[in-house]
């Protein structure tokens, strides 16, 4: 088990749920609402799991590998994207299910999410596979799966300040001896 694979699995499920919405007749509002509610909850849970488990570790391993600016930029962008996805999901809730405005808002949420996933798959996940060993990726996969399992009923959506997020995450990074690519542990609060 590898955290990057779990994240990719979640991405596949998000794409699947958006595709299902596109195939349900607009008059079936109860079904559309149920599928959308599941998807909206899943999008937030996935973002929170990444923010709690994946991105702090990406920052940590990037700093250890002397790639701070690259992983900081990726993380800033990801947190900004998560906020945009949250905003898009909130916009869907402002419209009656099955209307043209609702479908337009769902399409905007799909676009924001698709752009984020593509970028994350090209950059953050690729960097993490290159920099983190399989054992560490496995440990994080266990933590990620447990986080999502514990919060299966959903989590409260909360926008985050990207720069503040990176700053707080980096405060937990311990210095690593020069030339070492081992990952320091985050401080426990």
**Residue whose C-alpha is closest to residue 67's, from 26, 127, 114, 21:** 127
**Residue whose C-alpha is closest to residue 42's, from 86, 74, 80, 84:** 86
Distance from C-alpha of 168 to C-alpha of 33, rounded to nearest angstrom: 37
Q: For the chain, give every domain's residue range.
A: 3-171
Query: Using the 8-state DSSP alphabet, how is residue 28 labeled?
Result: -
- How far, in whole angstroms, is CA 172 from its chain's centroid? 20
Per-residue pLDDT tens listing for the chain (189 residues): 999 999 999 999 999 999 999 999 999 999 999 999 999 999 999 999 999 999 999 999 998 888 888 999 999 999 999 999 999 999 999 999 999 999 999 999 999 999 999 999 999 999 999 999 999 999 999 999 999 999 998 899 999 999 999 988 888 754 443 333 333 333 333
For residue 19, give both structure tokens: 């595709």
Distance from C-alpha of 24 to C-alpha of 188, rounded to nearest angstrom: 46
Q: Distances in Å between the alpha carbon of 32 and those of 73, 105, 163, 165? A: 36, 13, 36, 34
For residue 136, give both structure tokens: 């560490």
């Amino acid at each position: 088990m590898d955290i990057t694979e779990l994240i990719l699995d979640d991405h596949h499920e998000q794409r699947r749920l958006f595709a299902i919405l596109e195939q349900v007749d607009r008059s079936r509002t109860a079904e559309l609402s149920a599928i959308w509610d599941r998807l909206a909850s899943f999008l937030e849970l996935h973002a929170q799991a990444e923010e709690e488990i994946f991105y702090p570790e990406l920052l940590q391993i990037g700093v250890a590998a002397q790639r701070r600016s690259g992983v900081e930029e990726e993380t800033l962008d990801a947190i900004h994207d998560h906020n945009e996805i949250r905003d898009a999901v909130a916009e869907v809730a402002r419209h009656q299910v099955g209307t043209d405005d609702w479908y337009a808002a769902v399409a905007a949420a799909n676009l924001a999410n698709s752009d984020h996933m593509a970028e994350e798959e090209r950059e953050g996940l690729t960097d993490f596979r290159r920099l983190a060993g399989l054992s560490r990726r496995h440990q994080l996969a266990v933590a990620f799966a447990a986080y999502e399992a514990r919060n299966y009923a959903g989590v409260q959506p909360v926008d985050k300040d990207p720069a503040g997020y990176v700053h707080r995450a980096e405060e937990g990074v311990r210095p690593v001896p020069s030339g070492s690519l081992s990952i320091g542990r985050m401080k426990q609060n």
